[in-house]
Amino acid sequence: MTKDELISDLNGDIAYEFAAAIQYVQHAATLTGGEFQSINAELLVHVNEEIGHANLLSEQIDYLGGVPTMDVAERQTDSNSRKMLEQDLEGERLAIRRYKERIKQAQELELYALETVLKQILADEEEHERDLMEALGL
């Protein structure tokens, strides 16, 4: 793992963060059903937190001498509300896997400030996962 490879992976993370924010905006607007009323407001909180993550990662990439991406990863939606929340849960679980890997890489390169930022982001993603699992009754 070199610093350049880490920058490339972090840019991949940013693209997923932008995609997640866009996906949450669309899902919050189109989600229907009384049982999903409370998660709807929570999805809008997630929108801002995902954008916050993209912002933190962009700053870190700049510190590392890289150029933060403006790319957006693939988004998913569905006409079924439950399916949409399952897509969101899948995205959060992917994020958790990616950030756990990224924390190990930051440690390997002795980038401890980055490690701290990544752990803060990971804690948010774990909270997002719990919100969605609760809404889905899992």
What residues make contact with Fe ion under the rule CB under 5 A? 17, 50, 53, 92, 125, 128
Cβ proximity to Fe ion, 53 vs 111, nearer residue: 53
Exposure class string for 68-81: b at 16+ Cβ within 10 A, else e: bbeebbebeeeeeb
- Min dist CB 102 to Fe ion, Å, is 12
- Min dist CB 84 to Fe ion, Å, is 15
Backbone angles phi, psi at 78, to 5 degrees: -160, 160
Cβ proximity to Fe ion, 98 vs 105, nearer residue: 98
Taking the C-alpha atoms of residue 109 and residue 8, their distance in angstroms, rounded to an integer, is 14
Rama region for 110: left / alpha / beta (φ>0; ψ in -120 to 50; rest): left
- Min dist CB 55 to Fe ion, Å, is 10
Which residue's entry shows tokens 């407001």? 41
Cβ proximity to Fe ion, 4 vs 38, nearer residue: 38
- Min dist CB 13 to Fe ion, Å, is 8
Which residue's entry shows tokens 């990544």? 118
Cβ proximity to Fe ion, 104 vs 130, nearer residue: 130
